[in-house]
Structure 1
Amino acid sequence: MKLRSKIILFAITPLLLSFTGIAIAVFYQATLLAQQQRDTIEQAYLASKEAELMHYVSMGSASIAHLYNAKQQNAALQVEAKKILATLAFGDDGYFYVYDLQGKNLMHPRRPDLVEKNLWDMVDPNGNFTIQELIGRAHAGGGAIRYLWEKPSTKKVVPKLGYVIKLERWGWVLGTGIYLDDVDTALNLIDVQVASNIHRTMFWIAGITIASAILIALSGLALNISESRLAEAKLKVLAQSVVRSQEDERARLSRDLHDGLSQLLVSIKLQIESGLAKLGAKISTPDPAHLAFTRATLQINDALGEVRRISHDLRPALLDDLGLVAAFKHLAQEFESISKIAMQFESLGDFTFLSEASNTALYRVAQEALTNIHKHAKNASLVRISLSCDQRQATLSITDNGGGFDLASIIKHPKRGIGLSNMRERLAAINGQLVVQSSADGTQVNANIYFKEVL
């Protein structure tokens, strides 16, 4: 992993961990708060219902107070009281009931089947002795109590909040109650709404986290692209500087060879030839000394040719003096003379406005390509050089009909393909492009330089 990717990862990881911690804390606190809110609402609701039931029981006891407090007591008064209580109701499932202290049901308007039955040992689905608990609460001074009972309107056993008092004179337990299934439904609805709000909050936190991570990644990517472009631009400037320095050094060496060593060799040659001319006038037959000087003259001629070739390779004077096309023509003629391979050269367009760097790059690419053809192109009998220039680009195309080569293996080989790499780097330094294609029918090298970047 690259250093910049590691930095971005190190920037995103703490952010993700922080948001994860925040999400966990928010979820925990929201859940706790929701439970506290539910408990508060439930307690407040039950408290209000308890007060309401106490009021109902007070009303019920008041409705039979004249009978309960009568001086002359008899069974008829109790029968009349039960009739009055049976007629009292509130809501769909609100009614009064009466038990004696031994657990026998004395009055139940919604369950007449229970009347006169002893329910002391009756248990609910949870195993609780419902009637015993109601009577126990009445003995303790009365009050509210929760238990399970069948709801008349639905015929289902649901939680109920009851309120009972003891009528000591008659030995009764008077009570009423409110079913709590509606309360549980309302509280469950609140739970659903709270859970939905918590989930929505978690989604928002997740969305913000993802957006923040993406923003950091995009910022890092933008910075990476910006710095990569800056580094690429600096690299191109450096490459141009290196190439320019190389060409300046080549030009200096070429001048030194031409103006220094070449002139010295010409002077030596002239002096030897002058000496030979003087010796020839004095002797009639060649002697060993004369032959040695003659051989020296020939070797000096060879040395002069080699110096001129090296000087030309370092920096062809034609490229500076007569331009790119003339230098290419001379290069083609020289290659044909040395390699004995037929050459075809053609040029199209005006090259006079190309920069010196562009001229040098195209010439060096051609030199390298022709050197590779001479060394490696098997059975090549024809080389074509095409040089063209239009309003968009300058193009150099060199094609041979040799046996070609495996381009992929050359690129991968650590000790081969240096010439191709040099050509690519030289063109890249001036925003050019090198394209090489090779097959069994031959090889084609194309060098393109685009004017907008070069001129």
Structure 2
Amino acid sequence: MLYRTKLLLLTLIPILAISFATLWVLDLQSERLSARQSETLENMILASRKEELRNYLSLAENAIAPAYNSFLKTRRIAQAEAKAILRGMSASEDQYFYVYDSTGTTIVDPRLSFMQGKNWIGLENINGRPVIKELIEAAKTGQDFYTYTWQKPSTKEYLPKLTHAKYFERWDWIIGTGIYLDDIDQQIDVQRGVMQNSFNRSRTTIAFLALAALSATTLTMWVFQFTQQRMADAQLRRLNARLVDVQESLSKRLSQELHDGLSQLLVSARYGLEAVLGGSSDKKIEATTTSAMDTIDTAIKEVRRISLGLRPTVLDDIGLAAAIRGLGKEFEANMSIPTAVTTMPVGDLLSDRAKTALYRIAQEALTNIAKHAVAHSASIDLSTNRRFVRLVIEDDGKGLTQARPRARTQGLGLRNMQERIDSFGGKIKITSRIDAGVTIDVLMPISQNTQEE
């Protein structure tokens, strides 16, 4: 894995982890808060409904109080008046008053009239609870409220019902009323929906912020890496240029020392041997001296060849165009490969460093042709315009193949050609055609390299 990929992952993973953890905590807290609010709301509604039932029962008690407390009427007449009053006080189809005696006999039930006059003490609801018996016991023991499942008259559904009853001891009556609780669940569901929508908006906001943070971080890292990469590339080009300058400087000094020092010593030694040969008539000495002179001639040629390879003096003496022509002729003579050379004078359009770079590229290209191309011909073209000096080297060999990876990096190599030309802001294009040769096209800009030292 690349370093920048690792850095990006190390930056993004904590953001993702925090975002997921935040969403998880939000879900957990939302469930807890929803449960608490639902419970609170339910308790508030129940408290309101209980107060409502107390008020209803208080109204009923006040309404029948004249009859219940009267000593002027017979019990039968007073109870008949109370029954009529209670039947007429129904607030709605589902809100009414009922009356039982302590034995479980129905005295008043405006909705289930068939139950009146009958004893239902053993009646059980759908849950198996003896609701009439429990309701009577709750009223007689002073328990304010009692909850059970009962059929709702308006819908015929069996729903939870909250009832409030009171025991009237003189008449042995249990008078009560109730409210069905299904609307409480509806209100709670509505409140839960509102909260859920709020939590969903919060989740969306957090997810959007997390995505924005990831995008911003990725963009920042990309810009940072791109900037750092450009800075590193620029520094690398400067370093490569400096290394090339140092290499050329060392090569020039070594070339001069070989030419001015060792070459001169060899020439002096040869002259001394010629003097010895001219003054001696001994055949043995003559043969030995002649052999030594041949060896020295070979050494002088080798020194000159090495010196020329290290630093072509023709660049300093007669310029780049002449040096390129000489390089082409030498290549043709040594390799017996016909080489067409076309050059235009460069003059002061390029600095010495830029000229040396072009010469080295041409030198390396010809070396690669000689070693790897199996070419029948080659060509070199050096031309200029107002913006560039252009160098094109072509051959008709077998081209670059994946089977010869090292051939690309011999000496300076193709990559080093690229790095060398990059240090001057130039461009190099290498085109390979299988069994049709290679073309190296180099553009050296004039504006950046004129008199650059």
Counterpart of 2:329? 333
Is the contact between residue 240 and residue 423 of structure 2 (CA under 8 Å) also seen in structure 1? yes
Q: CA deviation at 1:191?
A: 0.9
Alignment equivalent of 1:442, drawn from 437, 443, 446: 437
Letter in 1 for 2:418: R
Alignment equivalent of 1:382, drawn from 361, 368, 377: 377
Cα distance 1:203–1:41, how it changes in 2: closer, same or farther (>3 A)?
same
Cα distance 1:405–1:142, how it changes in 2: closer, same or farther (>3 A)?
closer
SS of the equivalent of 1:175 reads strand
The CA distance in 1 between the partners of 2:204 and 2:123, in whole Å, is: 51
User: Could you list the per-position Cα deviations for residues 119-142 of structure 1 after superposition, in whole angstroms to 9, with x for gaps in the alignment?
Assistant: 323333333322222212211125
SS of the equivalent of 1:325 reads helix
Cα distance 1:121–1:355, how it changes in 2: closer, same or farther (>3 A)?
farther
The CA distance in 1 between the partners of 2:273 and 2:404, in whole Å, is: 50
Letter in 2 for 1:441: A
Q: How does 1:47-62 map to 2 (within 5 A)?
A: 47-62=47-62
The CA distance in 2 between the partners of 1:430 and 1:328, in whole Å, is: 19
The CA distance in 2 between the partners of 1:102 and 1:414, in whole Å, is: 112
Whether 2:394 is the aligned partner of 1:399: answer yes
The CA distance in 2 between the partners of 1:351 and 1:93, in whole Å, is: 112
Counterpart of 2:413? 419
Identity %: 36
Is the contact between residue 378 and residue 394 of structure 2 (CA under 8 Å) also seen in structure 1? yes
Is the contact between residue 34 and residue 194 of structure 1 (CA under 8 Å) also seen in structure 2? yes
Q: CA deviation at 1:155?
A: 2.3
The CA distance in 2 between the partners of 1:414 and 1:440, in whole Å, is: 16
Whether 2:229 is the aligned partner of 1:233: answer no
The CA distance in 1 between the partners of 2:373 and 2:378, in whole Å, is: 10
Is the contact between residue 349 and residue 449 of structure 2 (CA under 8 Å) also seen in structure 1? no
Cα distance 1:143–1:397, how it changes in 2: closer, same or farther (>3 A)?
same
The CA distance in 2 between the partners of 1:332 and 1:417, in whole Å, is: 18
Q: How does 1:315-326 map to 2 (within 5 A)?
A: 315-326=311-322
Q: CA deviation at 1:377?
A: 2.9
Q: CA deviation at 1:398?
A: 1.3
Is the contact between residue 410 and residue 417 of structure 1 (CA under 8 Å) also seen in structure 2? no
Is the contact between residue 142 and residue 166 of structure 1 (CA under 8 Å) also seen in structure 2? no
Counterpart of 1:68? 68
Cα distance 1:73–1:417, how it changes in 2: closer, same or farther (>3 A)?
farther
The CA distance in 2 between the partners of 1:417 and 1:204, in whole Å, is: 60
Is the contact between residue 349 and residue 446 of structure 2 (CA under 8 Å) also seen in structure 1? no
Letter in 1 for 2:421: L
Question: Cα RMSD over matched residues?
Answer: 2.9
Is the contact between residue 138 and residue 146 of structure 2 (CA under 8 Å) also seen in structure 1? yes
Counterpart of 1:219? 220
Q: CA deviation at 1:385?
A: 0.8
SS of the equivalent of 2:403 reads helix
Cα distance 1:36–1:454, how it changes in 2: closer, same or farther (>3 A)?
farther
Q: How does 1:257-336 map to 2 (within 5 A)?
A: 257-273=258-274, 287=283, 289-290=285-286, 292-294=288-290, 296-336=292-332
Q: CA deviation at 1:91?
A: 4.2
Counterpart of 2:338? 342
Q: After alignment, is 325-334 or 88-97 more displaced?
A: 88-97
User: Could you list the per-position Cα deviations for residues 222-249 of structure 1 after superposition, in whole angstroms to 9, with x for gaps in the alignment?
Assistant: 3322222222222222111111111101
Q: After alignment, is 393-402 or 80-89 more displaced?
A: 393-402
The CA distance in 2 between the partners of 1:60 and 1:302, in whole Å, is: 139
The CA distance in 1 between the partners of 2:406 and 2:327, in whole Å, is: 30
Q: List alignment gaps of at least 5 residues for structure 2.
A: none
Letter in 2 for 1:328: I
Cα distance 1:240–1:37, how it changes in 2: closer, same or farther (>3 A)?
same
Letter in 2 for 1:339: M
Q: After alignment, is 157-166 or 112-121 more displaced?
A: 112-121
Counterpart of 2:206? 205
Given the two structures, how large is their TM-score scaled by the length of structure 2? Answer: 0.88
The CA distance in 1 between the partners of 2:175 and 2:305, in whole Å, is: 130
The CA distance in 2 between the partners of 1:117 and 1:355, in whole Å, is: 124
Is the contact between residue 138 and residue 165 of structure 1 (CA under 8 Å) also seen in structure 2? yes
Is the contact between residue 346 and residue 386 of structure 1 (CA under 8 Å) also seen in structure 2? yes
The CA distance in 2 between the partners of 1:347 and 1:397, in whole Å, is: 10
The CA distance in 2 between the partners of 1:413 and 1:269, in whole Å, is: 41
Q: CA deviation at 1:255?
A: 0.8
Whether 2:76 is the aligned partner of 1:82: answer no
Is the contact between residue 400 and residue 432 of structure 2 (CA under 8 Å) also seen in structure 1? no
The CA distance in 1 between the partners of 2:163 and 2:220, in whole Å, is: 66
Is the contact between residue 383 and residue 401 of structure 1 (CA under 8 Å) also seen in structure 2? yes
Cα distance 1:129–1:351, how it changes in 2: closer, same or farther (>3 A)?
farther
Q: CA deviation at 1:154?
A: 2.2
SS of the equivalent of 2:96 reads strand
Q: After alignment, is 444-453 or 322-331 more displaced?
A: 444-453
Is the contact between residue 423 and residue 434 of structure 1 (CA under 8 Å) also seen in structure 2? no
SS of the equivalent of 1:224 reads helix
The CA distance in 2 between the partners of 1:454 and 1:436, in whole Å, is: 26
The CA distance in 1 between the partners of 2:398 and 2:27, in whole Å, is: 73
Is the contact between residue 409 and residue 415 of structure 2 (CA under 8 Å) also seen in structure 1? no
Whether 2:158 is the aligned partner of 1:157: answer yes
Cα distance 1:2–1:160, how it changes in 2: closer, same or farther (>3 A)?
same
Counterpart of 2:146? 145
User: Could you list the per-position Cα deviations for residues 288-333 of structure 1 after superposition, in whole angstroms to 9, with x for gaps in the alignment?
Assistant: 5445545554544443333222211111111122221111011111
User: Could you list the per-position Cα deviations for residues 145-189 of structure 1 after superposition, in whole angstroms to 9, with x for gaps in the alignment?
Assistant: 222222222222222221111122222211112222222211110
The CA distance in 1 between the partners of 2:403 and 2:160, in whole Å, is: 85
Q: How does 1:94-133 map to 2 (within 5 A)?
A: 94-133=95-134
Q: CA deviation at 1:200?
A: 2.2
Q: List alignment gaps of at least 5 residues for structure 1.
A: none
